[in-house]
């Protein structure tokens, strides 16, 4: 086993970015929580107070539950088999804002994990707040990696001001699931049993009409009740297929710069599909799935991670494909799970150990890809084993035209922005708001965030 020195307990001096409100917040928050945490062994205590199984144990935080969690545990075990049973202390915390709040608190308290997972869209605000250490070309080369090791789209997306802030594990795009039995009856499968080309609005709407004729009702389901992430993914996919659209947010989230004409076009089209009876007006997450699984619709839009759910349905014949390009260009909402190095006082050996852990995870990307995510690590993506995975290989191209949520301290996957905007978009789909009313509500509700400096 490697001789990994214990992390320094000395106080970290202010960084070159200066002492910010983040440091003041962190000191107060840490003081308020240190006493109750000192007497327990919670995951947060292990991060904040530096509790380790042994001095050479690497502390790793992630937010993976369900099937992803099981696969990540398998990958972690692969690392332990190489470096020893006490080489890794892995902790899974609650997905979304709770995870990022705890990661922030631990980092400003100078007791972060050695390596953590972050959505790419959440890594950027962490970087802007001085909470991440950069990953240099030398760091990459030290474990046999380089920028050429990764999908070009998400590798470039993780860069900020020319610096690498994260190492992408995957791309997880919004994806089209289709019921093969229904689509075959609608004449929408080719000779290989795959969905035909649906490029262009006319072709896509014709397909919806054909499916509706088979089901006697719905053609496509998209969750929008008690669900805010899916309406956002749906909108952001279609919006970015329109040539020349502006970002939704700019100036690091201080400005709502959305193209109003494009916003109204997309949401009016959504309402039109509802009015035609092709798209559900209101379904929750689970029911939007089961409707397609049961053959009561032909298409279902959701993140590719629902591949495991579809595979678990006995007798279901389904396929997956990129969301069709209905406007001017291919685009699909996506995010990436990435590995980040929270800011801390690191020795060169500690940095090397962290990079070796990340490399070990990347080398097990095929396990991760079996759960639907598109591997960013090209040796896995280009391997015959991945190219043979079905239906994964049929939507893998989505990674090349993935569109990420605009960076802001309050945006990203599972964020306040996503919850706020997605709720209004869901109401448009339900017919409770016009697109114009939804846009105004979004502006009103986001004003408190656009006018508030980042607390990070």
- In this predicted model, what pLDDT tens digit does every residue of 69-127 receive, in sequence order? 999 999 999 999 999 999 999 999 998 889 999 999 999 999 999 999 999 999 999 99
Domains 21-169+336-387 and 173-334+415-450 share a fold: yes
CA–CA separation, 426 and 227 (whole Å): 8
CA–CA separation, 109 and 405 (whole Å): 29
Q: Is the pLDDT of residue 138 over 70?
A: yes
- Alpha carbon dihedral 75, 159, 247, 451, in 10-degree steps, equals 100
Dihedral (CA of 196, 217, 306, 182) sign: negative
What average pLDDT does this structure show over 291-296?
97
Condensed to tens digits (0 to 9), the pLDDT of residues 380-422 reads 999 999 999 999 999 999 999 999 999 999 999 999 999 999 9
Condensed to tens digits (0 to 9), the pLDDT of residues 336-387 reads 999 999 999 999 999 999 999 999 999 999 999 999 999 999 999 999 999 9
pLDDT level of residue 4 (50, 70, 90 thresholds): very low
Pick the CATH number of 21-169+336-387 from 3.90.550.10, 3.30.2010.20, 3.40.190.10, 3.30.200.20: 3.40.190.10
Residue 329: per-residue pLDDT? 98
Q: Is the pLDDT of residue 280 over 70?
A: yes
According to DSSP, the β-strands at 255-256 and 249-250 are antiparallel
**In the beta sheet, which residues pair with residue 256?**
249
Q: Are 413 and 405 in contact (CB under 8 A)?
A: yes
Q: Is the pLDDT of residue 166 over 80?
A: yes
Q: What superfamily does domain 173-334+415-450 belong to in CATH? A: Periplasmic binding protein-like II (3.40.190.10)
Q: Are 373 and 308 in contact (CB under 8 A)?
A: no
Q: Is the pLDDT of residue 224 over 90?
A: yes
What average pLDDT does this structure show over 418-446?
98
Quote the percentage of the chain above a pLDDT of 70.
Answer: 88
CA–CA separation, 267 and 238 (whole Å): 9
CA–CA separation, 298 and 214 (whole Å): 9
CA–CA separation, 269 and 190 (whole Å): 27
Mean pLDDT of the chain: 89
Residue 244: per-residue pLDDT? 97
Residue 95: per-residue pLDDT? 87
Residue 33: per-residue pLDDT? 29
pLDDT level of residue 51 (50, 70, 90 thresholds): low
Residue 27: per-residue pLDDT? 33
Q: Which of 129, 130, 116, 98 is nearest to 166 (CA)?
A: 116
Query: 3-state SS string over the chain?
Result: CCCCCCCCCCCCCCCCCCCCHHHHHHHHHHHHHHHHHHCCCCHHHHHHCCCCCCCCCEEEEECCCHHHHHHHHHHHHHHHHHHCCCCEEEEECCCCHHHHHHHHHHHHCCCCCCEEEEEHHHHHHHHHCCCECCCCHHHHHCCCCCHHHECHHHHHHHEECCEECCEECEEEEEEEEEEHHHHHHCCCECCCCCECCCCCHHHHHHHHHHHHHHHCCCCEECCCCCCCHHHHHHHHHHHHCCCCCCCCEEHHHCEECCCHHHHHHHHHHHHHHHHCCCECCCCCHHHHHHHHHCCCCCEEEEEHHHHHHHHCCCCCCEEEEECCCCCCCCCEEEECEEEECECCCCCHHHHHHHHHHHHHHHCCHHHHHCCCCEECEHHHHCCHHHHCCCCHHHHHHHHHHEECCCCCCCCCCCCHHHHHHHHHHHHHHCCCCCHHHHHHHHHHHHHHHHCCCCCC
CA–CA separation, 61 and 115 (whole Å): 7
CA–CA separation, 105 and 84 (whole Å): 30
Cβ within 8 Å of residue 239, ≥6 positions away: 245, 248, 259, 262, 263, 266
What average pLDDT does this structure show over 132-160?
97
Residues in the chain: 456
- Domain range list for the chain: 21-169+336-387, 173-334+415-450
Condensed to tens digits (0 to 9), the pLDDT of residues 30-41 reads 332 232 332 233
């Amino acid at each position: 086993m490697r001789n990994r020195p214990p992390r320094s307990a000395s106080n970290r001096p202010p960084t070159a970015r200066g002492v910010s409100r983040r440091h003041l917040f962190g000191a107060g928050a840490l003081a308020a929580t240190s006493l109750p945490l000192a007497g327990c062994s919670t995951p947060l205590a292990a991060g904040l107070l530096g509790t380790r199984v042994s001095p050479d144990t690497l502390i790793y935080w992630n937010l993976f539950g369900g099937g992803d969690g099981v696969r990540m545990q398998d990958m972690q075990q692969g690392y332990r088999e190489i470096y020893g049973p006490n080489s890794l202390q892995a902790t899974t915390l609650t997905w979304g804002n709770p995870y990022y709040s705890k990661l922030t608190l631990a980092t400003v308290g100078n007791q972060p994990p050695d390596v953590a997972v972050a959505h790419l869209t959440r890594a950027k605000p962490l970087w802007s707040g001085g909470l991440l250490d950069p990953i240099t070309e030398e760091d990459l080369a030290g474990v046999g990696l380089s920028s050429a090791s990764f999908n070009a789209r998400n590798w470039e997306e993780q860069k900020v001001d020319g610096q690498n802030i994260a190492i992408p594990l995957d791309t997880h795009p919004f994806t089209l699931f289709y019921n093969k039995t229904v689509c075959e009856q609608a004449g929408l499968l080719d000779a290989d049993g795959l969905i035909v080309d649906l490029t262009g609005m006319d072709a896509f709407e014709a397909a919806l009409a054909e499916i509706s004729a088979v089901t006697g009702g719905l053609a496509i389901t998209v969750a929008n009740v008690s669900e805010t992430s899916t309406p956002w993914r749906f909108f952001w996919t279609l919006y970015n297929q329109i040539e020349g659209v502006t970002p939704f947010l700019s100036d690091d989230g201080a400005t709502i710069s959305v193209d109003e004409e494009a916003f109204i076009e997309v949401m009016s089209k959504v309402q039109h599909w509802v009015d035609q009876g092709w798209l559900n007006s209101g379904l929750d997450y689970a029911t939007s799935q089961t409707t397609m699984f049961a053959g009561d619709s032909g298409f279902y839009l959701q993140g590719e991670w629902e591949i495991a759910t579809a595979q678990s349905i006995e007798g279901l014949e389904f396929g997956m494909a990129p969301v069709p390009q209905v406007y001017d260009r291919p685009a699909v909402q996506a995010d990436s799970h990435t590995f980040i190095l929270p800011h801390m006082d690191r020795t060169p050996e500690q940095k090397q150990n962290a990079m070796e852990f990340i490399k070990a995870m990347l080398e097990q990307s095929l396990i991760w890809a079996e759960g639907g995510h598109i591997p960013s690590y090209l040796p896995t993506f280009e391997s015959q084993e991945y190219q043979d995975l079905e239906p994964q290989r049929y939507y893998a191209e989505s990674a090349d035209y993935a569109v990420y949520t605009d960076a802001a301290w309050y945006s990203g996957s599972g964020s306040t922005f996503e919850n706020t905007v997605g709720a209004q978009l869901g109401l448009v789909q339900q017919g409770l708001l016009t697109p114009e009313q939804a846009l105004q509500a979004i502006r009103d509700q986001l004003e408190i965030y656009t006018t508030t400096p980042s607390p990070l």
